[in-house]
């Protein structure tokens, strides 16, 4: 794989003004079964693309496989370890409680801090003087899991984000195993939370998600993949939060879908009943056109019924109106899935 070559994305969503195309959003999407067969696609599904937070189930995998019982992790705990959460009280309090299991706290997290996503997602302004810490960071659950893994391995907590640290070595092996890409060929970068992140072909990411749905134990990670996926699907509010796309997608799936967004326009999802994974990327990193294309893909795959369509309405931008309230345009999906 040539990691420096530009991906060959194609138009997947177009914003129209007066019926004429104005903004064209390019991207790609892959549909893959648990055996690795490419069932349908659009655009470039072979070039490595950064997975960002869609990788979180596989970053949590070594901990769940090796030490979930040791730390008495509930399904709700597992969901938080895979979260890009809103920083709501339920997220912050659970992360703090998990850290306390190993005598750690907020200061041990190396993710930095930001204003919780809850506010920007729901159009709310924080109260004057509101203060936030690292537990409010959307990746605090993931980092908590990394610290738990360090403790389980008997490795130092300090430097847990270093690529040579035992924690990151375990995670690299997990990503390699599920994506089918040798560790030495993984394209590595640094995520927004300072953790190592990997670029994978969408075909590989979709395959990895499909493997989360298998009932039979994994030869390396035993029952951890299905446990992680079920925990996320059963607790979507902990994986994301009020107003977020993963919450909407998993509620639309009514227990059959596990979903994980990644920053800058990545979305992955798998169906338990079908054993099929989907992975998508919009090249400009914008969430709205990604969701328009993704919902269209689900429709083309015949995965949607009236109830699920209704649950996903919030992901589709309403018609564009100007300051006078006049409707002037709309955003529409233009991708057409082709069989492999």
CA-wise closest residue to 178 among 99, 273, 246, 260: 260
DSSP class per residue in 11-37: EEEEEEETTEEEEEEEEEEEEEETT--
Residue-range definition of the domain harbouring residue 288:
10-339
In a domain, 236, yes or no: yes
In a domain, 252, yes or no: yes
The string of pLDDT tens digits covering residues 223-263 is 999 999 999 999 999 999 999 999 999 999 999 999 999 99
Does 2 have pLDDT greater than 60?
no
- Whether 204 contacts 183, CB under 8 Å: no
In a domain, 295, yes or no: yes
- C-alpha to C-alpha distance for 42 and 202, rounded to whole angstroms: 10
In a domain, 58, yes or no: yes
In a domain, 148, yes or no: yes
- C-alpha to C-alpha distance for 77 and 93, rounded to whole angstroms: 11
The string of pLDDT tens digits covering residues 278-317 is 999 999 999 999 999 999 999 999 999 999 999 999 999 9
With H, G, I as helix, E, B as strand and everything else as coil, classify residue 114.
Answer: coil
For residues 15-22, average pLDDT:
96
- Whether 58 contacts 168, CB under 8 Å: no
In a domain, 1, yes or no: no
- Can you give the CATH number for the domain in which 209 is found? 3.40.710
Structure tokens at 64: 């769940």
- C-alpha to C-alpha distance for 149 and 6, rounded to whole angstroms: 36
How far CA 307 is from CA of 194, 253, 261, in Å, comes to 39, 9, 22
Structure tokens at 328: 């002037």
For residues 318-335, average pLDDT:
96
Number of domains composing the chain? 1
Dihedral of the CA atoms 42, 83, 309, 230 (nearest 10)?
100
In a domain, 2, yes or no: no
In a domain, 5, yes or no: no
Name the band, by pLDDT with cuts 50, 70 and 90, for residue 340: low
Residues 6 or more apart in contact with residue 73 via CB below 8 angstroms? 64, 81, 98
Does 3 have pLDDT greater than 80?
no
């Amino acid at each position: 794989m040539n990691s420096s070559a530009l991906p060959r994305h194609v138009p997947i969503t177009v914003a129209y003004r007066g019926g004429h195309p104005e903004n064209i959003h390019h991207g790609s999407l892959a549909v893959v079964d648990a055996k690795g067969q490419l069932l349908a696609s659009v655009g470039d599904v072979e070039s490595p693309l950064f997975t960002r937070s869609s990788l979180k189930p596989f970053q949590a995998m070594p901990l769940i496989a090796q030490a979930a019982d040791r730390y008495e992790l509930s399904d709700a705990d597992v969901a938080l370890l895979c979260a890009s959460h809103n920083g709501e009280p339920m997220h912050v309090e659970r992360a703090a409680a998990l850290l306390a299991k190993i005598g750690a706290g907020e200061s041990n997290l190396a993710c930095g801090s930001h204003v919780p996503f809850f506010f920007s997602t729901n159009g709310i302004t924080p109260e004057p003087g509101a203060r936030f810490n690292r537990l409010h960071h959307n990746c605090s659950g993931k980092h908590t899991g990394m610290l738990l893994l360090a403790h389980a391995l008997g490795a130092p907590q300090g430097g847990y984000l270093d690529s040579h640290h035992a924690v990151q070595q375990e995670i690299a092996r997990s990503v390699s195993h599920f994506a089918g890409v040798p560790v030495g060929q993984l394209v590595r970068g640094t995520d927004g939370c300072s953790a190592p992140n990997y670029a994978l072909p969408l075909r590989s990411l979709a395959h990895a998600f499909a493997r989360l749905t298998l009932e039979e134990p994994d030869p390396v990670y035993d029952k951890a993949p299905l446990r992680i996926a079920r925990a996320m699907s059963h607790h979507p509010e902990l994986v994301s939060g009020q107003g977020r796309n993963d919450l909407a997608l998993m509620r639309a799936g009514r227990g059959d879908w596990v979903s994980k967004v990644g920053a800058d326009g990545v979305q992955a999802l798998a169906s338990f009943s079908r054993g099929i994974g989907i992975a998508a990327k919009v090249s400009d990193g914008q969430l709205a056109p990604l969701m328009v294309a993704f919902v269209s893909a689900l429709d083309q795959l015949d995965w949607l019924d009236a109830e699920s369509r209704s649950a996903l309405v919030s992901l589709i931008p309403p018609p564009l109106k100007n300051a006078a309230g006049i409707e002037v345009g709309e955003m529409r999906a233009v991708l057409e899935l082709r069989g492999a």
